[in-house]
Amino acid sequence: MTNAIEIAGLVKTFGSIRALDELDLTVRTGEVHGFLGPNGSGKSTTIRVLLGLLRSNAGSVTLLGGDPWRDATALHRRLAYVPGDVNLWPQLTGGEVIDLLGRLRGGVDPGRRDKLIQKFELDPTKRSRAYSKGNRQKVALVAALASDAELLILDEPTSGLDPLMEELFRECVQEERSRGRTVLLSSHILSEVEALCDRVSIIRNGRTVETGSLTDLRHLTETSVDATLTGPVPDLAGLDLRDLDIEGGRVRCLVPTPALGDLLARLGAAGISSLVSQPPTLEQLFLRHYGDQA
Amino acid sequence: MNGWTLLLRMALRRDRLLIPSWVAVFVVVSFGSAAATESLYGDPVSLAAAGHAVNATPALVALYGPIYDVTALGAIGMMKMNAMGAALVGLLGLLLVIRHTRADEEVGRTELAASGAVGRHAALAAALGTAALTVVAVGGLSAGALAAAGLPLGGSLTLGAAWAVCGLVFTAVGGVAAQLATSARASRGIAVAALLAAYVLRAVGDTSGPAWLTWASPVGWSQQMRAYAGDRWWPAAFALLAAVAVAAAAVLVEQRRDLGAGVLADRAGPAHGGPTGPLSLAWRLHRLALAGWASGFALLGFLLGSIASSVPQFLEGAPAAAEMIRALGGTDRLIDAFLATELDFTALVAAAFAVSLIVRLAGEEAHGRAEEVLATPTGRIRWALAHLAVALLGSAVLIVLLGTAAGLARALDTGEVSQLLSVAGASLVRIPAAWTMAAVALLLYAASSRAAVYAWAALVGVVVLGEFGPLMRLPDWMQQLSPYRHIPALPGADLEVTPLVVLLAVTAALVAASAVLYRRRDIVTG
Ligand SMILES: Nc1ncnc2c1ncn2[C@@H]1O[C@H](COP(=O)(O)OP(=O)(O)OP(=O)(O)O)[C@@H](O)[C@H]1O
Ligand SMILES: [Mg+2]
């Protein structure tokens, strides 16, 4: 089997709201797949359909070779899930929740569990109600990472983590990939997806608008550069720049990330007096590429 | 405090159904019991006999308080509503305050409000205001209902005021409790414990203990306003002063703590272990609540058992009342009829425990904790059944515990050990009816997570059918709708097995139907 998840033409409505509108998504076994989209685009809804919590209205969904609605319990032996908004039982301690979720999934490896707790600097003796949002998320992450599930479904797992913990999370996901696990990572942080994912699907209004490897999608990750030079403007040909605008000694353009170093070298050689460079946010990209179709 | 009126309006808007329903329950029950009073105690002789009998029964005085004027119809007719009514209004006040303070804070709603342009104490002030308005409305409208039902106006106003001031005191107590613990549950536990302590204090003061104990209790102050028996208003001053002082204390404590934190720090717990599966998780979630209910049931059972033997005595010369108990209990023997009626009623309360568990199950789904369990190999049916199992087992335990405690008290009272078996055994037949109510709640939950709360309406419907159905002469088929209508009136009646088997079959059918519905629907968070 080469695909862990295959979704085609998935439709899910809540009353009159069409949350998923013929969505397609394919996640290959062994890859880390980024699942991107703005707020309310349908990421969590898709994941809940995959988990057999929501019933689809139309379309076909295959998860690990089975039907996520009919074969839910059997399929859940093989996956672990971290929800976007982690809610824990207030009276249980973090350690108890990790053990509980582990047991429900069929057992925990105590060594792995303890190592992860230590790595994420989690206090497992604290009652869940006393955890911050980030710490609740860590509890769910540790429980998922300590399992030996072949598929990890992570719904915006870093939205509450501080930058240090986010870095740690990235290491963990890379480790999981090297152990051959498949990861579906929903996010709206482009840099996180860039750092981790082999392939990416971008959805908007419940519909897939882009899917492919990061190299395929490279055109989405352009950096905007605004530089004022001390010398004459150098030759900028062959860099694949877009929206190039030269005004006296001032250069403004969008440059594909791989060519950024090259551009800066050429500008630097000409002498830079000021430089502002900005990676585009996901929202800007959406606005640029799809805003007029809304 | 800046912005608290805005929050107050928001709170009233959010509870625009809940608060009027509660007020209506108090008003309707007041009217109903006041209207029934006249027919119960027709002539002054039977009235005085009943009054003296109550005052001579320590268990009754402990439960309801003494009757300060045995010649006053209102004082005797409203005996059960005096201290008890005040305490229930207090309960309403504290629950409302905690709902709008700690419960909101726990889920982070207060943070949203706090980040806006409202003052530090605005949420607390708005919650206190909401509850205060509610208890005053309960007192005022109930006073009107009592007077409208034919009781003296002066006494009715006093009783309404006594309820309202007790409500105000415990509204303030709820405000303090919300500052102490970090969870709404623990806050409710603290405030309810304070209420129970106040109730016990006056119970002891009214019976064996020194009389000043009654004066140390807010419930005692309300009782000492002596509605229909002299109508004294000055004890209300104690209550109002205490309410203001305690509310000020709540504000002071809030001043000193961080948002989200409590004064009582959470104790650290074990780093390993915990529940092992869905059933063990359900047990862990509900065991504390069950323990609380169980201690209450054991105490209540013992009290009821102790009172039983004095029932004929205090109904002497009150043929109407005896007639009614006979009609309700369906047996000639008064004590048995009394016990049967009380066992029926407490089994309804046990059903409320079961319903509360199913409603919490819906809460688990709404708060997203169901999702985390259901993404594991635990299927939704197994997960719901685990909670149902605790609800069924818990309600059965409560019923049997109450029956056993009542039987024990009877056995001690009469010296006959057989009483223990007879009363404890009689309690068993109530279990199927409570289970049927739990299954109704489950069916509603299975249809939709949001529908689960309507199980409370079903339960209130059953109470109304049972309490007022015979009085209001509702058509028989309607009364038959209540599962409690089909329970054999043990002790004293013949044990009929068929209705019990039918109730169990209905329960099983409802659970099966729930499974069918539940398998088809979406699990929805939020
Ligand atoms: N239970 C529900 N009832 C009604 N509408 C819903 C429900 N669940 C989701 N929706 C709607 O479906 C759409 C998709 O929501 P979803 O939660 O899947 O978005 P998302 O991509 O996860 O967003 P976010 O990035 O904010 O987490 C939204 O418009 C949302 O309002
Ligand atoms: Mg989401």
Residues of chain A with Cβ-Cβ distance to B386 below 8 Å are none
Nearest-CA residue of chain B relative to A89?
A: B369
Lowest mean pLDDT among A168-182, A226-240, B133-147, B242-256: A226-240
Question: Quick one: pLDDT band at residue B112, thresholds 50, 70, 90?
Answer: low
Ligand 1, atom 31, lies closest to the CA of A40
Pocket-testing residue among A43, A48, A193, ligand 1, by greatest number of atoms within 8 A of Cβ: A43
Mean pLDDT of B382-403: 97
Residues B116, B109: Cα–Cα separation, whole Å: 11
Q: Are A104 and B269 within 8 A, CB to CB?
A: no
pTM: 0.79
B368 CB near a chain A CB, below 8 Å? Answer: yes
Q: B312-360 pLDDT, tens per residue?
A: 666 655 556 666 655 654 344 678 888 888 899 899 999 999 999 999 9
Give how far B175 is from chain A: nearest CA, Å. 20
Ligand 1, atom 27, lies closest to the CA of A39
Residue A204 reports pLDDT greater than 80: yes
φ, ψ at A86 (rounded to 5°): -80, 120
Give the pLDDT of residue B331: 40
Give how far A162 is from chain B: nearest CA, Å. 20
Indicate where chain A has its CATH 3.40.50.300 domain(s): 3-217
Give how far B368 is from chain A: nearest CA, Å. 6
User: By the 8 A CB rule, do A270 and A229 touch?
Assistant: yes
User: By the 8 A CB rule, do B19 and B131 touch?
Assistant: no
Question: Quick one: pLDDT band at residue A292, thresholds 50, 70, 90?
Answer: very low
Mean per-residue pLDDT of chain B: 88
Residues B307, B50: Cα–Cα separation, whole Å: 14
Burial of A288 (0-12, 13-18, 19+ CB in 10 A): middle
Question: Quick one: pLDDT band at residue B115, thresholds 50, 70, 90?
Answer: low
B428 CB near a chain A CB, below 8 Å? Answer: no
Q: B189-248 pLDDT, tens per residue?
A: 899 999 998 998 898 889 877 888 899 999 999 999 999 999 999 999 999 999 999 999
* C-alpha dihedral, B13 to B17 to B20 to B25, nearest 10°: -160
Find out whether the beta carbon of A39 lies less than 6 Å from any atom of ligand 1: yes
Residue B303 reports pLDDT greater than 70: yes
Please state the domain extents for chain B.
Answer: 1-36+81-259, 277-526
B166: tokens are 């007790």
Nearest-CA residue of chain A relative to B377?
A: A73
Task: Catalogue the long-range contacts made by A243-251 (C-beta closer than 8 Å, 24 or more residues apart).
Answer: A249/A273, A250/A226, A251/A225, A251/A226, A251/A227
Tell me the CA–centroid distance for residue A18 and ligand 1, in Å: 10
Give the pLDDT of residue B322: 60
Give the pLDDT of residue B290: 93
Tell me the CA–centroid distance for residue B234 and ligand 1, in Å: 58
Give the pLDDT of residue A195: 85
Highest mean pLDDT among A56-65, B201-210, B301-310: A56-65
Give how far B366 is from chain A: nearest CA, Å. 10
Question: Quick one: pLDDT band at residue A290, thresholds 50, 70, 90?
Answer: low
Tell me the CA–centroid distance for residue A43 and ligand 2, in Å: 6
Find out whether the beta carbon of A41 lies less than 6 Å from any atom of ligand 1: yes
Higher pLDDT, B415 or B323: B415
Closest CA to A213 of A199, A203, A202: A199
Residue B453 reports pLDDT greater than 60: yes
Lowest mean pLDDT among A98-107, A207-216, B325-334: B325-334
Give how far B182 is from chain A: nearest CA, Å. 8
Q: In what order do the strands lie in the sheet with A17-28?
A: A17-28, A3-14, A58-63
Return the ligand 1 atom nearest residue A15 CA: 4
Tell me the CA–centroid distance for residue A188 and ligand 1, in Å: 14
Burial of A232 (0-12, 13-18, 19+ CB in 10 A): exposed
Give the pLDDT of residue B431: 97
Ligand 1, atom 26, lies closest to the CA of A39
Question: Quick one: pLDDT band at residue B271, thresholds 50, 70, 90?
Answer: confident
Higher pLDDT, B232 or B260: B232
Q: B92-108 pLDDT, tens per residue?
A: 999 999 999 988 887 77
Give the pLDDT of residue A282: 56
Give the pLDDT of residue B336: 86
Q: Which CATH code for domain A3-217?
A: 3.40.50.300
Give the pLDDT of residue B59: 77
Lowest mean pLDDT among B307-311, B321-325, B436-440: B321-325
The one-letter code for the residue type at B441 is A
Q: B43-95 pLDDT, tens per residue?
A: 777 788 888 888 887 778 888 899 999 888 888 888 888 999 999 999 999 99
Nearest-CA residue of chain A relative to B274?
A: A96
Looking at domain A219-293, does it have CATH number 2.60.40? no
Residue A224 reports pLDDT greater than 50: yes
B355: tokens are 């319903």
> How many beta-carbon pairs under 8 angstroms link A with B?
120
Give the pLDDT of residue A293: 46
Residue B437 reports pLDDT greater than 70: yes
Find out whether the beta carbon of A19 lies less than 6 Å from any atom of ligand 1: yes
Q: Indicate the angle between helix axes B319-329 and B18-40, nearest 10 degrees.
A: 130
What is the separation of C-alpha B105 from the centre of its chain, rounded to a whole number of angstroms?
A: 25
Q: Are A125 and B270 within 8 A, CB to CB?
A: yes
Mean pLDDT of B243-265: 85
Q: B29-46 pLDDT, tens per residue?
A: 899 888 877 776 667 777
Q: Are A55 and B520 within 8 A, CB to CB?
A: yes
Return the ligand 1 atom nearest residue A38 CA: 25
Q: Are B375 and A96 within 8 A, CB to CB?
A: no
Return the ligand 1 atom nearest residue A46 CA: 18
Percent above pLDDT 70 for chain A: 92
Residues A245, A135: Cα–Cα separation, whole Å: 46
Give the pLDDT of residue B321: 61
φ, ψ at B150 (rounded to 5°): 110, 5
Closest CA to B179 of B128, B129, B142: B128
Tell me the CA–centroid distance for residue B93 and ligand 2, in Å: 37
